[in-house]
């Protein structure tokens, strides 16, 4: 019997496996894909903080990014720039492989091409049934790291992620694009945004997240960028993926922990989930270590995992989700007007100078923006569904 069976060999699953195998536990990772570096519908942008914290190897980094051009619905431009790189674009398939290699290096066993179809929790073990030739695995605990929309999680009585968007992405040949571009507008990507992210000279990932029909919107955007001369051609093949916007109702149970996108641990403002998933994977490994070493793997003993990630990320999820829903209600005219005010009042510069515009931590800049008097005239009276923290309140006041 293994100590821990991890289901899903994405970044979150492999990080839990790496940490636990490194502590000497017997770990198996069961993955449905045949190869660990199969293509993933993901743009692969992660912060420098994430690269440093999880020592992401240079070999998987396409390039570093220190600026982005954000376009309003009518084409107004806001350019965000810092001297130092803020983020990295990674080869997402290679990243999966690198994390898995690291876990294997510590002794974790990987079983590939074997989708798990059922999980049963018993008194002293978890039994995991996989589809291939009736394989089954037994472990003292299981970690579900199955990504967005897994039926396995739903079947365990842990609830569902409360809200989500759907993404579509493709690779394009670009003309003269060397900065990340972000496009806003209800006609472009309703309720979310679209992006053009250069990965190599004349190559970029073009994608968007929205509430529905993401493929149709992406094709429309491709046609528009072709007409503008920004792209020369695009692959006809689109890939699709879902992104949770709210965490799962409960992320632990008897002998069970859920991490990463399966648990809804994604930034609601950008849809980025790699870094938060990795942070939660570390917290899951720490909780499991304590529970395995005392052989107390009950629901009560694993609850500390959820308390931990809520302490670290709960506020970001709350403010980010509220801002995401708020943004959904803004008309294109309001967004355009906000661009004017941000530029004419130097709000972008102030946020950049104050160091608040962070790739991963969004609550402070959101609250600052909302607290700005000129902006609030455009967006109307804002009733926050949360109690502001004293510090955030003071910071948002100081910019006015
Ligand atoms: C269009 C798009 C763009 C994105 N861009 C970014 C970005 O730029 N930056 C960022 O941080 N995030 C981005 N994300 C989100 C990011 O891809 C996810 O948050 C991240 O992949 C979550 O990692 P994970 O390990 O939790 O899950 P995943 O990476 O989804 O891994 C889950 C693994 O579990 C396996 N699995 C599932 N079910 C089973 C089963 N029953 N049995 C066995 N194995 C199973 C899957 O095959 C998969 O390998 C994007 C998402 C989309 C859709």
Considering only residues 203 and 355, tell me which one the structure prediction assigns the higher pLDDT: 203
Q: How far apart are CA 283 and CA 249, in angstroms?
A: 18
Residue nearest to atom 52 of ligand 1 (CA): 42
Q: DSSP states of 59-114 as a string?
A: GGEEEEE-EEEEE-TT--EEEEE-SS--EEEE-HHHHHHHHHHHHHHTT-EEE-S-
Q: Whose CA is nearest to atom 41 of ligand 1?
A: 116
Question: Residues with Cβ within 6 A of ligand 1?
Answer: 7-13, 30-33, 41-46, 115-116, 145-147, 150, 152, 167, 169, 207, 241, 243, 260-262, 266, 271-275, 277
Tell me the per-residue pLDDT of 263-274, one tens digit each, with 9 for 90 and over.
999 999 999 999
Write out the two tokens for 270. 């950008």
pLDDT digits (tens, 9 = 90+) for 356-374: 667 788 777 777 777 666 6
Residue with CA nearest ligand 1 atom 35: 8
Give the count of beta carbons closer than 10 Å to the beta carbon of residue 136: 11
Atom of ligand 1 nearest to the CA of 259: 26
Phi then psi for residue 305, to 5 deg, are -60, -50
Distance between CA atoms of 285 and 257, rounded to whole angstroms? Answer: 10
Q: Whose CA is nearest to atom 4 of ligand 1?
A: 42
Q: Where in the chain is the domain with CATH 3.30.9.10?
A: 164-243
Fold observed for domain 164-243: D-Amino Acid Oxidase; Chain A, domain 2 (3.30.9)
User: What was the pLDDT predicted at 382?
Assistant: 54
Place of tokens 């394989």: 135
For the chain, residues classed under CATH 3.50.50.60 are: 2-44+92-162+246-312
Residue of 17, 261, 313 to mutate, ligand 1, most atoms within 8 A of C-beta: 261
CA 147–ligand 1 middle distance (angstroms): 5
CA distance 172 to 224: 13
The model's pTM is 0.92
Q: Given a cut of 80, is residue 143 above it in pLDDT?
A: yes
Highest CATH level, class, for 2-44+92-162+246-312:
alpha beta
Strands 164-174 and 231-234: antiparallel
């Amino acid at each position: 019997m293994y100590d821990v069976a991890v289901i899903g060999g994405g970044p979150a699953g492999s990080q839990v496996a790496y940490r636990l195998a490194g502590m000497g536990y017997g770990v198996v990772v069961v993955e449905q894909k045949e190869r660990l570096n199969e293509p993933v519908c993901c743009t692969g942008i992660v912060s420098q903080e994430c690269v440093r914290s999880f020592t992401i190897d240079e070999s998987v980094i396409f390039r570093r990014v220190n600026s982005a051009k954000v376009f309003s619905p009518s084409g107004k431009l806001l350019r965000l720039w810092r001297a130092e790189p803020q983020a990295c674009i990674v080869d997402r398939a290679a990243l999966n492989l690198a994390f898995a290699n690291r876990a294997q290096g510590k002794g974790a066993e990987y079983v590939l091409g074997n989708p798990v179809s059922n999980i049963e929790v018993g008194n002293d073990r978890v039994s995991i049934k996989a589809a291939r030739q009736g394989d089954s695995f037994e472990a003292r605990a299981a970690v579900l790291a199955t990504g967005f929309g897994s039926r396995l999680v739903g079947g365990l009585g842990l609830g569902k992620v409360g809200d989500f968007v759907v993404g579509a992405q493709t690779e394009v040949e670009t003309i003269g694009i060397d900065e990340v571009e972000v496009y806003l507008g209800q006609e472009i990507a309703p309720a979310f945004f679209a992006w053009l992210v250069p990965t190599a000279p004349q190559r970029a990932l073009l994608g968007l997240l929205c509430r529905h029909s993401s493929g149709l919107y992406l094709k429309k955007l491709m046609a528009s960028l072709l007409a503008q001369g920004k792209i020369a051609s695009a692959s006809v093949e689109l890939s699709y993926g879902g992104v949770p916007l709210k965490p799962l109702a409960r992320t632990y149970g008897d002998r069970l922990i859920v991490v990463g996108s399966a648990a809804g641990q994604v930034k609601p403002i950008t849809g980025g989930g790699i870094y938060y998933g990795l942070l939660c994977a570390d917290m899951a490994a720490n909780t499991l270590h304590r529970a395995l070493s005392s052989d107390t793997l009950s629901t009560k003993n694993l609850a500390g995992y959820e308390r931990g990630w809520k302490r670290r990320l709960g506020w970001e999820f709350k403010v980010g989700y509220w801002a995401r829903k708020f943004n959904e209600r803004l008309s294109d005219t309001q967004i355009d007007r906000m661009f004017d005010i941000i530029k004419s009042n130097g709000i972008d510069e102030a946020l950049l100078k104050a160091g608040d515009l962070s790739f991963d931590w969004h609550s402070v800049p959101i609250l600052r923006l909302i607290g700005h008097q000129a902006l609030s005239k455009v967006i109307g009276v804002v009733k926050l569904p949360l109690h502001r923290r004293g510090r955030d309140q003071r910071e948002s006041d100081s910019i006015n």
